[in-house]
C-alpha cells in the first residue's frame, strides 16, 4: 500500500491540469478564468492553440474582447479557431465586422488570408478529390 501512496503523491504533484496551465500562461485572474471554465470548447481551443505555438498575446486579445462583452461565446470560439488556423502567419489581421450581414461572411484583408482560410476549412471538413481533365479532348 505504501508504494502506491508514494506513486499517487508523485503523480499528483507532477501533473498540472490544463486549466491551471491555461490560467498561468495567459495570466488570467480567478474571475476571468471562471467566465470561461464552463465552456469546454473554448478551453479545448485555448489548450490546443497553446500546445501548437499560438502566441499567448493573441489568445489573450480574444479573451479580453469576450470579457468586455464584445464577443458572444460562439464568436469567441470562431475567433480562437481563426487564431489557431493563422498561427504561423507573422501578423494575421482579422476581426469581426458587425456592419456586414451574417450571410455576407468574413471580411479578410487580402486574398492570401482568404485562400488560407478556405483551404484549411475545406481540408478539415471535406474529402476533396481533384480530377484533372485534358481540355484538348
Q: Among all chains, which residue has been given the C-alpha cell 503523491?
A: 9
Comparison of pLDDT for 95 and 117, the residue scoring more: 95
User: In degrees rounded to 5, what are phi and psi of residue 44?
Assistant: -65, -45
On the question of pLDDT at 123 being above 80, the answer is no
Torsion of CA 86, 92, 93, 97, to 10 degrees: 0
- How confident is residue 91, by pLDDT bands cut at 50, 70 and 90? confident
Average pLDDT over residues 5-22: 59
Average pLDDT over residues 77-84: 91
Q: How far apart are CA 115 and CA 52, in angstroms?
A: 21
- How confident is residue 16, by pLDDT bands cut at 50, 70 and 90? very low
C-alpha cell at 82: 481563426
On the question of pLDDT at 8 being above 60, the answer is no
Per residue in 35-78, pLDDT tens? 998 898 899 999 999 999 899 999 999 999 999 999 999 999 99
On the question of pLDDT at 136 being above 80, the answer is no
Q: What pTM was computed for the model?
A: 0.63
Residue 104 confidence (pLDDT): 63
Comparison of pLDDT for 107 and 27, the residue scoring more: 27
Amino acid at each position: 500500500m505504501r508504494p502506491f501512496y508514494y506513486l499517487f503523491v508523485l503523480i499528483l504533484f507532477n501533473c498540472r491540469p490544463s486549466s491551471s496551465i491555461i490560467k498561468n500562461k495567459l495570466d488570467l485572474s480567478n474571475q476571468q478564468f471562471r467566465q470561461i471554465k464552463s465552456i469546454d470548447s473554448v478551453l479545448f481551443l485555448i489548450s490546443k492553440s497553446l500546445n501548437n505555438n499560438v502566441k499567448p498575446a493573441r489568445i489573450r486579445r480574444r479573451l479580453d474582447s469576450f470579457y468586455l462583452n464584445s464577443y458572444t461565446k460562439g464568436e469567441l470560439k470562431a475567433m480562437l479557431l481563426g487564431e489557431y488556423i493563422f498561427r504561423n502567419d507573422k501578423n494575421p489581421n482579422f476581426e469581426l465586422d458587425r456592419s456586414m450581414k451574417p450571410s455576407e461572411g468574413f471580411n479578410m484583408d487580402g486574398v492570401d488570408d482568404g485562400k488560407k482560410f478556405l483551404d484549411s476549412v475545406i481540408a478539415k471538413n471535406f474529402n476533396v478529390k481533384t480530377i484533372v481533365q485534358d481540355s484538348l479532348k
